[in-house]
């Protein structure tokens, strides 16, 4: 117990020291001229990129590791933490904006208050739930926690989230009727492909194909004799057409887009790594 | 009568289901017109979503990857991660905003460095697949390749090249290149049509999920296939 | 003022009427309970066959990044996959890369595993939430203990019975990615080369994945709720995919009819104006 307390105190002292150092560095960093700031940011960007690029390119030994594999393993936790802090930036910005709305009584500040109350209540139960799940600080899953978290998470947040996303279905239906017009060859191709895929990928396509008497099964003879009438009729089934569109016509289109995006992404990555992009640093 | 008794919010679980249904109808009220009821629930939703994320961030990430290694394993260098990581929050400061770019630069640099592995693992196998598609029956054909496969491979390659030509903007499209690019645009429309068809299915499924909840859980009608 | 023709009125119909028509269509299709056998597409068959080929005790990673927004598409897939894995007596671990996905997948898995007698920690485990998928996958490719450290209940990875003999992703047979976002490309990019991938996207992401199916980077795919229905037919179970499929196909039919109707109205209106 004494060892635990000592460790806790030492850990807290280290953390306090780290915060103090981070805060103390700020006025020091503030003395850097603009070119110095750019140089510092570019240097950090380059070193971070160099580490991962080298980790990939350096040859590996018999144990499938190079000299950077172990340092990466040790560092990965800290990278997860920094990513979480960067994601928390969004939450911080949101709360900051609505807090300002509520304090300054800006228009519709009442809704901001609703948001903040919901935020605080949910944050409290979410943190409590996650800690109780892990048994941290002796916390357990009490009936109050179970009921409150179930209500807030399963029956409020999940329902609201699912409903928000389902609104798009109505808009897509309305837009398809009001705006999807055949005015050019390209629009026609897009529309007819979409309709073939929509009807071919669902069982209704199979039902329609079966009801007009198209062969339901492709035999070995049909495969070896592609010009057989039965084989041609089989391939005119809506599910087969939809499948062919997706696998033979759509796949190369997606691959061409992938290649374009891939080359562009690599070029952009190199530019960012070398701080050649204006407006970032 | 039994149905009515079961339907009413007479137990904790039924109250929860009614609250879920209320949330659903509140959001759907926007379809009729803009109203305060919808706005209230919309803001509540954003607040709940933002608040919920704190649990996983603080406990699953910060506690697991930062606090516990420091506390139990004595990995002292980790103490610097959070204070210096929090330089990100200077993005809101006019005077010290540039300090946040040190951490942002580190993240950008890291992901840029990782792009080489991504390029090699993600795109090179696709290039290999495109370049090794048999365009005729190989000499030692074992009967596993059919004429339909050869035909499809040719179509695959023609579409791939024509769409790539369409996306090449380094030079002006003229003559045969222009015609290839137009062909590529038409094939692109096929791909977009396939995407649209699938997108419609996705959105409809989300709506169907909600309607199913209202009919099955709230109104307790046994619905759906099977 | 000139009276509007029927075609003009058709093209400018109040959108709330359209919403009501869609809602009625879906309710009617859900109530109808018509059963139509599907054609099982090859990617779904390959998905099923890949899991069917697993042996008891094999290790599978289920990457669950979906949350409530795509519940209707991903939940049927997630449930069917877990049931198939448990039927094969395969060990599995779940990891989430989005905060709500963590609790959704954990609570759902706890409920499903009870029916198959699976015990958390012994037959399956949940690794919790990791914000950075790239670092997590790269880290797990070398050493899961260092990358994940503890499961969602704070039990150290090394002490979990389910992780016996498993040091990294290289010891896994398969990863099943159930996701509404672009996590697949990160799994493809940073996993160990021998690790097979099966993909469970929402339908929005499916079209883009055909290139990966063609190159063999993913072995199989089930697309949204419809794919889950086809998979459930292969498994011989009735799940949410089976419940939704009628409504899905009749909503598609409705959209096609209305697209054609809208274009017909435009064509007729042009003819009327010209004459």
Residues B77-102: tens digit of each pLDDT:
999 999 999 999 999 998 899 999 99
Distance (Å, rounded) from C-alpha C257 to C-alpha A195? 10
Helix (H, G, I), strand (E, B) or coil at A36: helix
Which chains have 3 or more CB–CB distances shorter than 8 Å to chain C? A, B
* Cα nearest neighbour of A239 on chain C: C39
pLDDT, residue A227, reads: 86
* Three-state SS at C103: helix
Distance from A66 to chain B by nearest Cα, in Å? Answer: 15
The pLDDT score that the predictor gives to residue A1 is 47
- Report the alpha-carbon distance of residue A16 to residue B193 in Å, rounded: 58
Nearest by CB: C19 against A162, A170, A255: A170
Confidence (pLDDT) at C11: 84
Q: Does residue A41 form part of some domain?
A: no
Which one, of C41, C35, C47, C37, lies nearest residue C81 by Cα? C47
Q: Rg of the Cα trace of chain B?
A: 29
Instruction: Output the CA torsion sign for B50, B53, B55, B61.
Output: negative
Q: Where is the domain boundary, A121, A147, A180?
A: A180
- Supply the pLDDT for residue A157: 97
SS3 A108: coil
Enumerate the β-bridge partners of residue C60.
Answer: C92, C174
Answer whether B113 sits within 8 Å of A185, measured CB to CB.
no
Q: Which residues pair with C120 in a beta bridge?
A: C124
Query: For residue C251, what is the enclosing H or E element?
Result: helix C240-274
**In chain C, where the domains are located:** 6-32+247-274, 42-238
Residue where a domain terminates, one of A180, A210, A230:
A180
Question: Does one domain contain both A243 and A208?
Answer: yes
Alpha-carbon gap, residue A83 to B88, rounded angstroms: 10
Mean of the pLDDT values across residues B116-133? 95
- Chain B residue numbers with beta carbons less than 8 Å from the beta carbon of A58 are none
- Residues 39-98 of chain B with CB under 8 A from chain A are 39-67, 69-72, 74, 76, 78-89, 91-92, 95-96, 98
Residue numbers in chain C where pLDDT is lower than 50: none
Are A161 and C42 in contact (CB < 8 Å)?
A: no
Confidence of residue B136 (pLDDT cuts 50, 70, 90): confident
Does A153 lie at the interface with C, CB-CB under 8 angstroms?
yes
Instruction: Based on the fold, state whether residues A214 and A243 are members of the same structural domain.
Output: yes
Q: Is B59 in Cβ contact with A130 (below 8 Å)?
A: yes
Contact between A77 and B5 (Cβ < 8 Å): no
Report the percentage of chain B scoring pLDDT > 90: 78
In which band, very low, low, confident or very high, does the pLDDT at A226 lie, cut at 50, 70 and 90? confident
pLDDT tens for each residue of A163-221? 999 999 999 999 999 888 888 888 999 999 999 999 999 999 999 999 999 999 988 88
Question: Chains with ≥3 Cβ pairs under 8 A against B?
Answer: A, C
CATH class of the domain comprising C42-238: alpha beta
Note whether C149 contacts A: Cβ–Cβ < 8 A. Answer: yes
How far is C-alpha B39 from the chain's CA centre? 26
* Closest by Cβ to A246, choosing from C131, C207, C258: C207
CB contact C93 to A (< 8 Å): no
Q: Is C261 on the interface with A (CB under 8 A)?
A: yes
Per-chain mean pLDDT for chain A: 92
Percent share of chain A, pLDDT over 70: 98
For chain B, the structural domain boundaries read: 1-72, 75-132, 141-226
> Using 50, 70 and 90 to split pLDDT, how confident is the model at B226?
low
**Total of domains in chain A:** 2
Q: Are A90 and A176 contained in the same domain? A: yes
Lowest mean pLDDT among A3-7, A58-62, B17-21, B109-113: A3-7
Confidence of residue A3 (pLDDT cuts 50, 70, 90): low
Q: Is B209 in contact with C128 (Cβ distance < 8 A)?
A: no
As given in the structure block, the two tokens for residue A113 are 């208050």
| Shared domain check, A155 and A197 | no
Q: How far apart are CA A277 and CA A269, in angstroms?
A: 10
Chain B residue numbers with beta carbons less than 8 Å from the beta carbon of C31 are: 215, 221, 223
Residue A254 structural domain: 181-273
Indicate yes or no: CB of C211 within 8 angstroms of CB of A251: yes
Mark which of A180, A200, A218 sits at the end of a domain.
Answer: A180
pLDDT tens digit sequence for A103-121: 999 999 999 999 999 999 9
A34 in a domain, yes or no? Answer: no
Separation of alpha carbons A74 and A80, rounded Å: 12
Q: Is A217 an 8 Å CB contact of chain C?
A: no
Contact between C246 and B225 using a beta-carbon 8 Å cutoff: yes
Residue C126: helix, strand or coil by DSSP?
A: strand
Enumerate residues 6+ apart whose C-beta is below 8 A from A220: none
- Give the contacts of B54 (CB within 8 A, at least 6 positions apart): A91, A123, A126, A127
Nearest CA in chain A to B204: A169
Contact A116 B19 (CB under 8 A): no
Distance CA A115, CA A128 (A): 20
Residue A100 shares a structural domain with residue A161: yes
End-to-end CA distance of chain A: 49
pLDDT at B141: 66
**Chain CA centroid to CA C232, Å:** 13
Of C19, C134, C248, the CB nearest to B208: C248
Contact A81 B61 (CB under 8 A): yes
Nearest-neighbour CA in chain A from B52: distance (Å)? 5
Q: Are A71 and A58 in contact (CB under 8 A)?
A: no
Judge if A91 and A173 occupy the same domain: yes
Q: With a cut of 0.95, is the ipTM above it?
A: no
Contact C247 B204 (CB under 8 A): yes
With CA atoms as reference, the chain A residue closest to B160 would be A252
What SS3 class is residue A19? helix
| Residue bearing tokens 């909503």 | C251
Average pLDDT over chain B, rounded to an integer: 92
Name residues 162-201 of chain C within 8 A of A (Cβ): none
In C33-98, which ranges are continuous DSSP H helix? 42-52, 71-87
pLDDT of residue A128 exceeding 90, the answer is yes
- pLDDT at A2 exceeding the cut of 70: no
Q: How far B184 CA sits from the closest chain C CA (Å)?
A: 17
């Amino acid at each position: 117990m004494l060892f635990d307390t000592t460790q806790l105190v030492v850990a807290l002292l280290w953390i306090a020291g780290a915060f103090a150092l981070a805060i103390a560095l700020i006025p020091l960093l503030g003395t850097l001229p603009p070119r110095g700031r750019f140089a510092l940011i570019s240097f950090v960007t380059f070193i971070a990129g160099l580490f991962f690029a080298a980790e990939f390119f350096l040859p590996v030994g018999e144990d499938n590791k190079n000299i950077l594999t172990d340092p990466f393993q040790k560092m990965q936790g800290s990278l997860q933490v920094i990513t979480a802090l960067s994601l928390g930036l969004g939450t911080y910005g949101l709360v900051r904006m609505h807090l300002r709305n509520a304090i300054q009584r800006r228009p519709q500040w009442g809704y901001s208050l609703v948001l903040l109350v919901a935020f605080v209540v949910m944050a409290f139960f979410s943190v409590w739930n996650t800690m109780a799940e892990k048994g941290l600080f002796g916390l357990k899953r009490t009936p109050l926690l179970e009921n409150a978290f179930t209500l807030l998470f399963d029956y409020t947040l999940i329902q609201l989230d699912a409903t928000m996303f389902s609104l798009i279905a109505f808009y897509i239906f309305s837009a398809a009727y009001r705006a999807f017009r055949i005015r050019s060859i390209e629009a026609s191709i897009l529309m007819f492909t979409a309709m073939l895929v929509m009807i071919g990928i669902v069982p209704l396509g199979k039902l329609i194909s079966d009801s007009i008497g198209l062969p339901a099964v492709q035999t070995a003879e049909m495969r070896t004799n592609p010009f057989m009438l039965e084989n041609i009729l089989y391939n005119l089934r809506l599910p087969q057409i939809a499948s062919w569109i997706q696998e033979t016509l759509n796949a190369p289109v997606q691959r061409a887009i992938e290649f374009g995006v891939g080359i562009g992404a690599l070029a952009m990555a190199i530019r960012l790594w070398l701080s050649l992009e204006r407006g970032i640093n | 009568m039994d149905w009515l008794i079961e339907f009413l919010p007479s137990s904790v679980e039924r109250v929860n289901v009614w609250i879920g249904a209320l949330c659903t109808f509140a959001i759907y009220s926007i379809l009729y017109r803009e109203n305060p009821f919808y706005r209230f629930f919309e803001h509540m939703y954003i607040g709940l979503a933002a608040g919920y994320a704190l649990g996983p961030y603080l406990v699953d990430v910060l506690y697991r990857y930062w606090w516990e290694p420091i506390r139990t394993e004595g990995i002292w260098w980790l103490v610097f991660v959070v204070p210096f990581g929090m330089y990100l929050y200077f993005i809101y400061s006019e005077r010290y905003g540039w300090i946040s770019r040190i951490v942002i630069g580190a993240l950008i640099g890291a992901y840029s460095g990782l792009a080489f592995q991504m390029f090699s693992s993600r795109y090179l196998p696709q290039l290999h697949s495109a370049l090794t598609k048999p365009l005729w029956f190989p000499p030692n054909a074992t009967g596993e390749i059919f004429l339909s496969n050869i035909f499809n491979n040719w179509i695959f390659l023609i579409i791939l090249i024509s769409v790539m030509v369409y996306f090449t903007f380094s030079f002006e499209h003229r003559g045969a290149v222009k015609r290839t690019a137009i062909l590529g645009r038409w094939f692109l429309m096929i791909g977009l049509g396939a995407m649209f068809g699938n997108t419609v299915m996705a959105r409809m499924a989300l709506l169907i999920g909600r309607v199913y909840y209202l009919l099955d859980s709230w109104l307790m009608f046994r619905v759906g296939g099977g | 003022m000139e009276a509007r023709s029927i075609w003009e009125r058709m093209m400018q119909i109040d959108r709330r009427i359209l919403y009501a028509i869609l809602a009625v269509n879906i309710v009617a299709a859900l109530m109808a309970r018509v059963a139509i056998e599907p054609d099982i597409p090859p990617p779904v068959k390959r998905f099923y066959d890949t899991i069917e080929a697993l042996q008891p005790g094999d290790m599978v990673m289920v990457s669950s990044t979906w949350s409530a927004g795509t519940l209707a598409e991903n939940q049927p897939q997630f449930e069917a996959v877990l049931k198939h894995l448990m039927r094969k007596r395969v060990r599995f671990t779940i990891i989430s890369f989005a905060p709500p996905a963590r609790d959704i997948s954990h609570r759902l898995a706890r409920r499903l595993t009870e029916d198959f007698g699976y015990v958390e920690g012994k037959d399956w485990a949940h690794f919790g939430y990791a914000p950075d998928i790239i670092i997590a996958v790269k880290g797990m490719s070398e050493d899961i203990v260092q990358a994940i450290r503890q499961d969602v209940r704070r039990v150290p990875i090394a002490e979990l019975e389910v992780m016996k003999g498993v040091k990294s992703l290289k010891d896994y047979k398969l990863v099943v990615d159930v996701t509404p976002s672009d996590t697949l490309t990160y799994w493809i990019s940073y996993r160990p080369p021998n690790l097979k991938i099966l993909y469970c996207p929402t339908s929005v992401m499916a079209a883009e994945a055909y290139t990966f199916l063609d190159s063999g980077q993913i072995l199989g795919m089930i697309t949204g709720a419809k794919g889950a229905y086809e998979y459930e037919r292969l498994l011989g179970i009735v799940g949410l995919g089976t419940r939704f499929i009628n409504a899905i196909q009749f909503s598609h039919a409705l959209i096609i009819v209305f697209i054609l109707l809208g274009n017909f109205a435009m064509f007729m209106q042009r003819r009327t104006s010209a004459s």
